[in-house]
Structure 1
Amino acid sequence: MPFVLNCIGIVVVFGLAYLGSMDRKRIDALSLLIMFVLQLIATWIMLSTAIGQRIIQAVSDFFLWLLDCSMSGIQFVFGNLAGGADIPFFISVLMPIIFIVVFFDILTFFGILPAIINTIGWILSKLTRTPRFESFFATQVMFLGNNEVLAITREQLARMSNQRLLTCCMLGMSCISVSVLGGYMQLINPTYVLMAIPLNAIGALIMTSIMNPYKVSKEENVVYKRTAAERRNFFDVITASMLTGGKLALIIAAALMGFTALIACINSILGLFHDRLTLENVFAVVFSPFAYLMGVPPVKVFTVAQFMGEKLATNEFVAMGHLSPILPTLDKHTEAVISSFLVSFCNFSTVGIILGSVKALFDQEKTSFVAAQTWRLLASGLLVSFLTAMVVGLFVW
Structure 2
Amino acid sequence: MAENINRGYLEEHELEAVERGAKIHETGIQKNKSSRKKYQCVANGRQALGNHVSENPRAYRIVFLILLNIVVFSYFAYATVYWIRNNSDCEFEWCDGYGMLLLLFAFTYFGIFYFCIFKRYVLKYVKRTLRPFGRSLKRLRARKRTYFLLRTAFYISVLAAAIVFLILDTINDRDRLISCLGVIVLIGLGWIFSKHPTQINWQPVLWGLILQFSFGLLTIRWTVGRIIFQCVSNKIETFMNYSIDGASFVFSNELVNVIQVFAFAALPVIFFFSFFIYILSYLGVMQWVIMRIGWVLHLIMDTTICESMNTAANVFLSMSESPLLIQSYIHKLTVSEMHAIMASGFATVSGTVLAAYISFGAQPAHLITASLMSAPAALCYSKLFYPETEESQTTVKNIVLEKSEDSSLIDAAVRGAMAGIPLVLSIVANIVAFISFVSFINAILSWLGGLIGNDSLSFELILSKLFMPLSWVMGVPWEQCEYVSTLIGLKTAVNEFVAYQKLGVYKKEGVLSARTEAIATYAICGFANPGSVGIMIGALTVIAPEKRDVIVGVAFRSFITGSAVCFLTACIAGMLINEDYYSTISSSTNSTTTVLSILSQS
Q: Give the TM-score normalised by structure 2.
A: 0.63
* Alignment of structure 1 residues 284-303 onto 2, 5 Å: 284-303=464-483
CA distance in 1, matches of 2:422, 2:414: 13
Shift of residue 100, structure 1, vs aligned partner:
0.8
Q: Is the 8 A contact 1:188 1:339 kept in 2?
A: yes
2:574 is matched with: 393
1:282 equivalent in alignment to 2:477: no
User: Is the partner of 2:476 in helix, strand or coil?
Assistant: coil
Q: Distance in 1 between matches of 2:387 and 2:486?
A: 33
1:372 aligns with one of 547, 550, 553? 553
What stretches of structure 2 of length at least 5 have no aligned partner? 1-173, 450-454, 579-602
Distance 2:192 2:573 in 1: 24
> Are 1:173 and 1:381, in contact at CA under 8 Å, matched by a contact in 2?
yes
Q: Which amino acid is 2:418 matched to?
A: L
- Report the Cα offset of residue 110 of structure 1: 0.7
With CA pairs under 8 Å and 6+ residues apart, which has the higher RCO, 1 or 2?
Answer: 1
- Mapped to 1, the partners of 2:404 and 2:573 lie a distance apart of 43
Offset at 1:101?
Answer: 0.7
Q: Which residue of 1 aligns with 2:310?
A: 137
Residues 248 and 257, structure 2, Cα contact 8 Å, conserved in 1: no
Say which of 333, 340, 343 aligns to 2:515.
Answer: 333
AA aligned opposite 1:300? Q
Q: Does the aligned pair in 1 maintain the 2:221–2:577 contact within 8 Å?
A: no
8 Å CA contact retained: 2:234, 2:364: no
Question: Per the alignment, in what secondary structure is the counterpart of residue 146 of structure 1?
Answer: coil
In structure 2, distance between residues paired with 1:240 and 1:201: 28
Judging changes above 3 Å, is the alpha-carbon distance between structure 1 residues 84 and 214 closer, same or farther for their aligned structure 2 residues?
closer
Q: 1:37, 1:229 → 2: CA distance?
A: 34
Whole-Å Cα distance in 2 between the matches of residues 319 and 180 of structure 1? 14
Query: Please, what is the CA RMSD of the aligned residues?
Result: 1.9
| 2:532 match | 350
State which of 199, 202, 205 in structure 1 corresponds to 2:379. Answer: 205
Matched, 1:101 2:283: no
**How big is the shift at 1:202?**
1.1
**Which residue of 1 is the match for residue 85 of structure 2?**
none
Partner residue, 1:188: 362
Amino-acid identity (%): 26
Quote the Cα distance in structure 1 between the aligned partners of 2:308 and 2:324. 17
Of residues 147-156 and 195-204 in structure 1, the stretch that sits farther from structure 2 once superposed is: 147-156
Give the secondary-structure state (helix, strand or coil) at the position aligned to 1:124.
helix
In structure 1, how many angstroms separate the alpha carbons of the residues matched to 2:402 and 2:485? 46
Distance 1:16 1:227, change over 3 A: closer
Q: Which of 284, 291, 294 does residue 121 from structure 1 map onto?
A: 294
Q: Judge conservation of contact 2:529–2:559 (CA < 8 Å) in 1.
A: yes
Taking the aligned partners of 1:118 and 1:150, their CA distance within structure 2 comes to: 13
Instruction: Go from structure 1 to structure 2 and tell me whether the alpha carbon gap of 1:80 and 1:265 turns closer, same or farther (over 3 Å shift).
Output: same
Once the two structures are TM-superposed, the CA of residue 217 in structure 1 deviates from its matched residue by 4.8
Q: Deviations over 1:207-228 (max 9, x none)?
A: 1110111166586324632466
Letter in 2 for 1:367: R
Q: CA deviation at 1:326?
A: 2.1
Residue-by-residue CA offset, 1:124-183 (whole Å, 9 max, x unaligned):
221212222211110011211111122332220112223322221122111211111222
Change (3 A) 1:218 1:291: closer
What letter corresponds to residue 262 of structure 1 in structure 2? F
Name 2:564's counterpart in structure 1.
Answer: 383
Tell me, in whole angstroms, the C-alpha distance in 1 between the residues paired with 2:317 and 2:474: 29
1:236 corresponds to which of 405, 411, 421: 411
Shift of residue 368, structure 1, vs aligned partner: 1.7
Is the 8 Å Cα contact of residues 342 and 555 (structure 2) preserved in structure 1?
no
Name the structure 2 match of 1:262: 437
Query: How far has the Cα of 1:292 moved from its partner?
Result: 1.1
Query: Which residue identity lines up with residue 538 of structure 2 in the other structure?
Result: G
Unmatched segments (≥5 aa) in structure 1? none
1:35-55 CA-to-partner distances (Å, cap 9, x unmatched) read: 211111110110122331232
Aligned residues, how many? 396
CA change 1:268–1:183 in 2 (3 A) is same
User: Quick check: which has more Rg, 1 or 2?
Assistant: 2
Indicate whether 1:7 and 2:188 are aligned: no
SS where residue 329 of structure 1 aligns? coil
Q: What is aligned with 1:167?
A: 340
Match of 1:214 among 367, 380, 388: 388
- When normalised by structure 1's length, the TM-score is 0.94
Once residues 478 and 404 of structure 2 are traced to their aligned partners in structure 1, the CA distance between those partners, rounded to angstroms, is 58
